[in-house]
Chain A
């Protein structure tokens, strides 16, 4: 790695184990890569339209299916946020809006965006499309299970959407679904709505488990020749670690969903304490609502990193490619991803500072929470150092990446505020919290998704998205997102509580009214701006410029497929053989400013490549 770099001497490019000091005399073994351990994968090619495009076993098609379904749910979530902002900015303007509707929209917006949009998009969408291509596999290792995974997700989304149409509507308990109020009469959607939500979540977990096993085994056991773990693009590292987190965190969600379903349907009392309702004692008694909170957040906090880690990985690759520079501190980046993933299991109770925990418990969780800032800050510094003295292309992709860094730092710093118990207690349940998590796990990962769409669209569709439209899309979204969330920090400081349908005659009214109107207008504009991308995609598919192979001059394997877009089996006759990491950009002495991962060491013998 970089610490072995020496300016005075030309280093020979080495495959991992072979060393030969003298320049000029080429060791014949220099290009040696171990033969394949496993035989060719047995692939089933679809024969009919249904097998090729509907119940398809090709990970790339499944990835696109996941992507489109997730984007559909995302648009539903976006419309819900519009309706919420309409009520908050201009109370009473939407005549149909009652407090019950508002709670239902809040709940569904939260659950859809976190689970059905971001998680499915990053792991199901990008994971399926990119993992086999980036590690040099023909497909996911269990294509059939992979197909089932998508259709299970599809059914989960269908069940979730069905809850809008049942009597009582969807649940309005808040996305955290805290008992006891979640399943008690009086909460909107406490009948069919909550039941469908719990069923949908269970289906999602089952579907995700099937996909997650695929992602993990493909990365661990199906890499191509020469592809060591430390030669994988950081995208793969991010998705891999996020998948590990998901495999260990979703069980807690599944269990809490099952127990809540039983509480609802069979009147068990897992989470339900003795409750008086209108002077009458209900059937429930002896359960623990706090137990649900622990289970939920044992899932919920890793979930934040399930969304964030793939974004970290993807943005690292995008920055490196478009700054024409190797990623600064690759190993540090990998260990930071793994470290954040590990730590994320020990911080869950920082969501519960006001739940009445033992203060020492809060102290412990505040400490672990703040420790996460260390690897995260390392990553931010490394992104900036990757940009430093890079040959930066200010194109749409890079703009989204820069937008991500700024937004993420912003959201991260407010996270340090909220990680401390004494600061969190007065700020909790205010708009400060809303601003914090939307910045850090809403807008920031979304910026990466947008960057990734502009980056990989030429690979998926074979055409280049329009740059001008992309820049409009970026600037409106970036400035608009700040217009939405920056004022929310102030709303939080003056104490405006979250989840309130309206402020009535409270003292907040005077100073918050103007700000709320401003935020709402910005939200409408930013939401509408997202359709620029939809328009751009449709326009590009119809009349767009045809993309050449590897238009960004990247090194990683997904750009070196036999055809663009890649077909089933990805790499044609022979799988690629990997000799280096994917970050050999602007290597002194090299012919081009990039050296593909497949370039043999003997071809770049007089260049100063890093030993990877």
Chain B
């Protein structure tokens, strides 16, 4: 479906190009695969979900009567008896951003029909995502162990726990969904389903390497959201 050559249609650059694409028949985004366009629009909708969460968090944090916990203390790890603020978060962020890199490479090798490299890189991405979720579980259990609960905590305003568990939980849920699909796609790539045009088990549709790019879009988005959560929860 994604054809680079658009018959009888001149793709112009800039605003003029956008106007002529919009005014043309058949497609608005020339040469863009349906699934890819769908993912972009889904991500726009999902951006509104996370924006609503984060704006609610800002409002909640801004209007509590009790002081907000000191985040650099709450989120610090003790290494040899010395508290290192943001250590775990730094590692988590590093792992997630790295997995974005492997994802981008997987897309590239996928389009080059380099099945093996593509498969291994998706697997690496999945493992990175899994590691991230694992570390998040560790962080949650550490905080729960220290007495932080959704309805209250010993460090300050009770909304801290509420927003923290809800928003990181919702993000972690996104990562987990991504990891599940990454493992499925690893299997599909290694089994060669995109070459043999085997129909999907659920959807009965033929697959294509563009699916990896679509999943990549989702994965990069989840990373980007993490950057905002990181800034709003750990640095503020």
Q: Is there a chain A Cβ closer than 8 Å to B66's Cβ?
A: yes
B150 contacts A288, C-beta separation under 8 Å: no
Instruction: Give me 16 other A-B pairs in contact (C-beta within 8 A), A36-B7, A221-B32, A223-B26 excluded.
Output: A34-B9, A34-B24, A37-B27, A38-B26, A42-B206, A144-B204, A221-B26, A221-B27, A228-B24, A251-B49, A254-B52, A259-B166, A268-B151, A268-B159, A286-B63, A578-B25
Chain B interface residues (CB < 8 Å from chain A): 1, 3, 6-9, 22-32, 34-35, 37-38, 41-42, 44-46, 48-49, 51-53, 56, 59-60, 63-66, 150-151, 157-159, 161-163, 166, 170, 202-206
Q: A226-B25, A270-B159 are in contact. Are A213 and B60 (CB under 8 A)?
A: no
Q: Is A287 in contact with chain B by the CB < 8 A criterion? A: yes
Task: Kindly list chain B residues whose C-beta atoms are within 8 Å of the C-beta of A37.
Answer: 3, 6-7, 9, 26-27, 30-31
Q: Is the CB of B26 within 8 A of A224?
A: yes
CB <8 Å contact, A229 and B22: yes
Q: Is the CB of B27 within 8 A of A247?
A: no
A262 touches B25 (CB 8 A): no
Q: Is the pair A213, B41 in contact by a Cβ cutoff of 8 Å?
A: yes
Q: Does A33 reach chain B (CB closer than 8 Å)?
A: yes
Query: Which B residues lie within 8 Å of A217 (CB)?
Result: 34, 37-38, 41
Closest residue on chain B to residue A254 by CB atoms: B49
Known: A225-B25, A254-B49, A268-B151. A35 touches B8 (CB 8 A): yes
Say if the beta carbon of A295 comes within 8 Å of chain B: yes
Residues of A in contact (CB 8 Å), total 56
Instruction: Report how far A224 CA is from B25 CA in the complex, Å.
Output: 7
A94–chain B nearest beta-carbon distance, Å:
41
A230 at the interface (CB under 8 A from B): yes
Residues of chain A within 8 A of B7, CB atoms compared: 34-37
CA distance A256 to B157 in the complex (A): 20
Say yes or no: A209-B45 contact (C-beta < 8 A), given A222-B34, A268-B150.
yes
CA distance A291 to B54 in the complex (A): 12
Q: In angstroms, how far is the closest chain A Cβ from the Cβ of B127?
A: 28
Judge whether A39 is part of the interface by a CB distance below 8 angstroms.
Answer: yes
Q: Is the CB of A291 within 8 A of B60?
A: yes
5 contacts between A and B (CB under 8 A): A37-B6, A220-B27, A251-B49, A254-B52, A266-B151
Choose among B24, B29, B51 the residue with the greatest number of A CB atoms under 10 Å from its CB. Answer: B24
Give Cα distance in the complex from A209 to B46, angstroms: 10
Question: Hey, which chain B residues are within 8 Å of A285, CB to CB?
Answer: 158
Contact B204 A262 (CB under 8 A): no
The CA of A144 and the CA of B157, in the complex, are separated in Å by 46
* CB-defined contacts of A209 to chain B, threshold 8 Å: 42, 45
Q: Which residues of A contact B37 (CB under 8 A)?
A: 217, 220-221
Chain B contacts of A81 at CB under 8 A?
none
Bound form: Cα–Cα A278–B130 in Å: 49
The answer to whether A229 touches B28 (Cβ under 8 A) is yes
CB of A165 closer than 8 Å to a CB of B = no
Residue A68 lies at the interface, judged by CB distance under 8 Å to chain B? no
* B170 neighbours in A (Cβ, 8 Å): 258
Complex CA–CA separation, A23 to B52 (angstroms): 59
Q: A-B pairs with CB below 8 Å: how many?
A: 154
User: Across the interface, which residues of A come within 8 angstroms of B65, CB to CB?
Assistant: 286
**A34-B8, A34-B26, A248-B45 are known contacts. Are A267 and B151 too (CB-CB below 8 A)?**
yes
A223 to chain B: which residues have CB within 8 Å? 25-27
Nearest Cβ distance between residue B11 and chain A, in whole angstroms?
11
| Closest-CB distance, B121 to chain A (whole angstroms) | 26
- Knowing A37-B7, A262-B162, A286-B157, say if A225 contacts B56 (CB, 8 Å): no
Q: Is the CB of A283 within 8 A of B48?
A: no
CA distance A258 to B166 in the complex (A): 9
The interface residues of chain B lying within 8 Å CB-to-CB of A254 are 49, 52
Nearest-Cβ distance from residue B10 to partner chain A, whole angstroms = 11
Instruction: Pick the residue among B27, B49, B151, B206 that contacts A283 (CB under 8 A).
Output: B151
Partner among B23, B28, B60 whose Cβ is within 8 Å of the Cβ of A221: B28
Residue numbers in A under 8 Å from B38 (CB-CB): 141-142, 213, 216-217
| A203 within 8 Å of B (CB atoms) | no
Q: Are A144 and B45 in contact (CB under 8 A)?
A: no
A392 contacts partner chain B, Cβ-Cβ < 8 Å: no
Is A374 engaged at the interface, CB distance under 8 Å to the other chain? no
The answer, yes or no, to whether A269 is at the interface (CB within 8 Å) is yes
How far apart are A49's CB and chain B's nearest CB, in angstroms? 17
Question: Closest chain A residue to B170 by CB distance?
Answer: A258
Partner of A38, one of B3, B9, B23, B66: B3
Known: A35-B7, A39-B1. A286 touches B29 (CB 8 A): no
Within the assembled complex, what's the spacing in Å between the Cα atoms of A250 and B42?
12
Most chain A CB atoms below 10 A, which of B31, B38, B44: B38
Chain B residues with CB below 8 A from A258, complex form: 166, 170
Kindly state the separation between the CA atoms of A68 and B221 in the bound complex, as whole angstroms: 37
The residue on A at minimum CB distance from B27 is A221
Residue A196 lies at the interface, judged by CB distance under 8 Å to chain B: no
- Bound-state CA distance A287–B158 (Å) is 10
Question: Does A535 sit at the interface, judged by CB under 8 A?
Answer: no
Per-residue CB contact flags for chain A residues 252-266 toward chain B (1 = under 8 Å, else 0) read: 101110110010001
Q: Which A residues lie within 8 Å of B161 (CB)?
A: 268
A295–B150 touching, CB < 8 Å:
no
Shortest distance from the beta carbon of B138 to any chain A beta carbon, whole Å:
21
By the criterion CB–CB under 8 Å, are B204 and A227 in contact? no
